[in-house]
Amino acid sequence: MSVVNSESVVTNTRTPVVIIKPILYGNTAKHLGTKRDSDGHTHRWSVYIRSFNNDDLSTYVSKVQFRLHETYPNHARMITQAPFEVEESGWGEFETQITIFFADPNEKPVVFYHHLKLFSTDPDVVAGTKDLVNEHYDELIFQEPSDLLVRLLNCAKAFAPSTDENLATAKEYAIKKHDTIDRVKKARQRVRSEIQDLTERLRITQENIKRVRQRTMDNSSPMGTFSLSIHDNIKREIVD
């Protein structure tokens, strides 16, 4: 989840609310069928960011920058209107930086990183009969946004009514979100259990060390007394 910090460059009125906007970002790719002779490119791809609820992002997003690999001409692509996406072709995968700028310039931009994926083991994707889709769900969390941004966020309208496909997608991401949260909870519980186990093992080890030290001290005391007795006897014999 990405929290939109509402620190303003100038003083303006803030609204004490939290507004969450779910989004999708990622890329699609399709094999060209053969390596292109002119540049060696093998895939046509697009990288994008869009609303999960099919809202018009341009209502509250002013522009989105996609920073591509430096080998691309004009590799920092600034898109100033919806749809916020870049279409290109290539032969290799790389990490893209996606920066969202908001309609209220006092709101700090939000940055995402996305690994642009081209290759898959799916036979249909390899054959080029099906597009590869590498997509992620996230949420923009606006904490105490400006009055201007609140109005823009609340008036964002959907491009089209929800279709069966959109509802199916929403259900799929709801399941993924639930599974992700469940895995995080299980991982935290596993970490807590491991910490408790290590703490107990450390306690036992420290007790064992303490017992060994005590035993060593107990074993060395008679020897020290015996050595002292011999020394005293020798002194007495010399004196006598």
Spatial distance between the Cα atoms of 134 and 120, rounded to a whole number of angstroms? 10
Are the C-beta atoms of 133 and 127 separated by less than 8 Å? no
Spatial distance between the Cα atoms of 77 and 79, rounded to a whole number of angstroms? 6
- β-bridge mates for residue 66, sequence order: 77, 98
Query: What is the model's pLDDT at position 16?
Result: 85
**pTM of full prediction above 0.85:** no
SS (H, E, C) 70-114: CCCCCCEEEECCCCEEEEEEECCCEEEEEEEEECCCCCCCEEEEE
- β-bridge mates for residue 23, sequence order: 51, 138
Q: State how far Cα 7 lies from the chain centre.
A: 23
Query: What is the model's pLDDT at position 103?
Result: 94
Token pair in block for residue 13: 């009125």
Backbone phi and psi for residue 200, each to the nearest 5 degrees, phi listed first: -65, -40
Using the 8-state DSSP alphabet, how is residue 117 labeled? -
Token pair in block for residue 215: 């035993």
Per-residue pLDDT of the chain (240 residues; tens, 9 = 90+): 665 654 444 446 776 889 999 999 999 999 998 999 999 999 999 999 999 988 899 999 999 999 999 999 999 999 999 999 999 999 999 999 999 999 999 899 999 999 999 999 999 888 888 899 999 999 999 999 999 999 999 987 766 555 666 666 667 767 777 777 888 888 888 999 999 999 999 999 999 999 888 888 877 765 555 455 555 555 555 555
3-state DSSP call for residue 14? strand
- Tell which CATH classification among 2.60.40.1970, 3.40.50.970, 3.40.50.720, 3.40.50.300 matches the domain 18-159: 2.60.40.1970
State the Cα torsion 60-63-68-72 to the nearest 10°.
150
Query: What is the model's pLDDT at position 1?
Result: 61
Cβ neighbors of 62 (< 8 A, separation 6 or more) are 80, 101, 102, 103, 105
Query: What is the model's pLDDT at position 48?
Result: 97
Query: What is the model's pLDDT at position 138?
Result: 93
- Which amino acid is located at 19 in the chain? I
Query: What is the model's pLDDT at position 209?
Result: 92
